[in-house]
Amino acid sequence: MKKLYRSTSNRQLCGVCGGVGEYLGVDPTVVRVVWVIAALFGTIGIWAYLLCALIIPEDSAVR
């Protein structure tokens, strides 16, 4: 069973994109590019990132 966590090893800011990339099995760079595009077209990308950074736990909590 896969769980969504913020990445501590593949992070730029809070590790949200790294964690989402690991969860979906895609390169985290692709997730970062999509998130930046969403942020450029409106503030929903920024708010979604901040919300995910607050809600999603770090993967170190699992170990």
Indicate the pLDDT class of residue 63, thresholds 50, 70 and 90.
Answer: very low
| Domain segments of the chain as ranges | 16-57
Query: Mind listing the pLDDT tens digit for each residue in 21-59?
Result: 888 999 989 988 988 888 888 788 788 888 988 998 887
Please state, in angstroms and rounded to a whole number, the distance separating the CA atoms of residues 49 and 2. Answer: 20
Cα dist from 18 to 3, 4, 36, whole Å: 13, 10, 14
On whether the CB atoms of residues 63 and 9 are closer than 8 A, the answer is no
For the segment 10-29, the average pLDDT, to the nearest whole number, is: 86
Return the pLDDT at 60. 67
On whether the CB atoms of residues 10 and 21 are closer than 8 A, the answer is yes
Its pTM surpasses 0.95: no
